[in-house]
Amino acid sequence: MSLQIVILAAGAGKRMVSQTPKILHCLAGKPMLAHVVDIAQQLNPDAIHVVYGHGGEQIKNALPGLPVHWVLQKKQLGTGHAVLQALPFIPPEALVLVLSADVPMIQSATLQALIQKASGALGQAAPLALLLATLDNPKGLGRIVRDSTGNIAAIVEEKDASVNQKQIKEIYSGICCVQATDFARWLPQLGSNNAQGEYYLTDIIALAAAEKTPILSLCTEDVTEIQGVNNRLELQRLERIWQRRQAEQLLLSGVSIADAARIDVRGELVCGQDVSIDVNCVFTGRVELGDHCTIGPNCTLSNVTLEAGCQIFANSVLDGCQLERDCQVGPFARLRAGTRLANHCKIGNFVETKNAVFGDESKASHLSYLGDVTLGKQVNIGAGTITCNYDGVNKHQTLIGDGVFVGSDTQFVAPVKIGANATIGAGSTIRRDAPPDELTLTESRQKTIVGWKRPVKKKD
């Protein structure tokens, strides 16, 4: 049987108070819609249809590679109307799973169990299966109305519910699994005579009950996975739940975390054994930390690979770089994209690198900018050294051979090449290649001006 997934993403999201469509707001660094699509892909569907409306072009431009079929809902007339827009693109024999783009923590195992119910994999064929939950405070959610025999008879939205119906604790999550042929029969029958003047998808339940169609349900125990996001407060609450769970998984896998409430994983964090992470660290993209790596407080790592034994000291920022074994970075260092450090290298405080390649045991201990540069082995970069790599139009390379010693306050005006074991005198501006094994420096003769006086502030 073909599985088709419809993700409802057309809402305006006014309560976010934002020019950005609600479903583009991020959970753990990724738009909510992208989270739901990722889960949908885990179910191996034949197609994923995203029904969009408000901010449609902005959504499509923000997620250009999303593997979905976009379906426009020109007028937002309700959830039933939204599914109807996708129906022409769905084969009649398909099973249709309906998800919401603002429910980003739904789990694939839960959805797989719901699909099994709807497809009859659990022993009873049923064209309709609902994901439900029981809440102590069901405010704002559709209530499950059952008949005298306990069968589901209808779903009543809160704005249309009676006083007694509002006391019901059993709610509908907004997620259902329905045969496409049944959608094709029921959706055109929906009316908009309700408090919101919309075509509710939930009204198909009463139609199914009237036809005596079996209605199965699955109740989730983890109500977080069906939590919808309507405003930034709700999104922030989910963010902390997400991050807490990430921290707990890391702790159980053997990672030491100074405070599980003060770590943010906004991508994929892969750790070896005996890794230690201090407070207020942020990991984005894919980050790999080898055995015995330590990350100091207030560090940000994005798309970084650290081999075993690396130490990142406080307040350092690493982005798009690779470090081999036993490197030390920081505090207050910034390693930008293209930085590669071989074994036993050191980057000290207030050093910035970009497209910088360090050979084994090379170091820049403090106060330097090293961009578009290749260093050999055992190079020492003195404080205040910079590579002048940009001429206003193009970038140029600086090449520094093995064993070079660079004195403090040196400027390399690229392109320039420094031979192996050369020494560069402090305060030099190097504009031409320097030979190996020699001392090269640029000298400005020191002089004393006898009788010179400092300026004195004039009296009023």
What's the CATH number where 184 sits? 3.90.550.10
**Greatest CA separation found in the chain?**
108
Question: Checking DSSP bridges between strand 294-295 and strand 311-312, what pairing results, if any?
Answer: parallel
Same domain flag for 297 and 393: yes
Indicate which CATH number applies to the domain containing 287: 2.160.10.10
Same domain flag for 188 and 242: no
- Identify whether 453 is part of a domain: no
- pLDDT tens string 283-301: 999 999 999 999 999 999 9
What gap in Å lies between CA 411 and CA 431, rounded to an integer? 8
- pLDDT tens string 12-44: 889 999 999 999 999 999 999 999 999 999 999
**Mean per-residue pLDDT, 44-51:** 97
Same domain flag for 189 and 310: no
Contact 59, 15 (CB under 8 A): no
**Mean per-residue pLDDT, 140-163:** 93
Which of 181, 203, 226 represents a domain boundary (last residue)?
226
- pLDDT tens string 88-137: 999 999 999 999 999 999 999 999 999 998 886 444 545 799 999 999 99
Exactly one of 35, 49, 81, 366 is catalytic; name it: 366
Task: Check pLDDT > 90 for residue 460.
Answer: no
Q: What is the pLDDT of residue 1?
A: 77
Which residue range(s) make up the domain with 290? 232-440
Q: Is 393 exposed, middle or buried (0-12, 13-18, 19+ CB in 10 A)?
A: exposed
Token pair in block for residue 24: 């583009």
Q: What is the pLDDT of residue 449?
A: 83
Which of 226, 242, 268 represents a domain boundary (last residue)?
226
What gap in Å lies between CA 177 and CA 249, rounded to an integer? 31
Per-position DSSP letters for 186-249, written without gaps between them: HGGG----STT-S--GGGHHHHHHHTT---EEEE-S-GGGG----SHHHHHHHHHHHHHHHHHH
Instruction: Report pTM.
Output: 0.89
Q: Is 460 exposed, middle or buried (0-12, 13-18, 19+ CB in 10 A)?
A: exposed
> For this structure, is 366 an active site residue?
yes
Three-state secondary structure call for residue 100: strand
Q: What is the pLDDT of residue 121?
A: 44
Same domain flag for 372 and 310: yes
Separation of first and last alpha carbons in the chain: 93
Alpha helix ranges (H) inside 102-150: 108-119
Which of 226, 253, 273 represents a domain boundary (last residue)?
226
Give me the percent of the chain exceeding a pLDDT of 90. 88
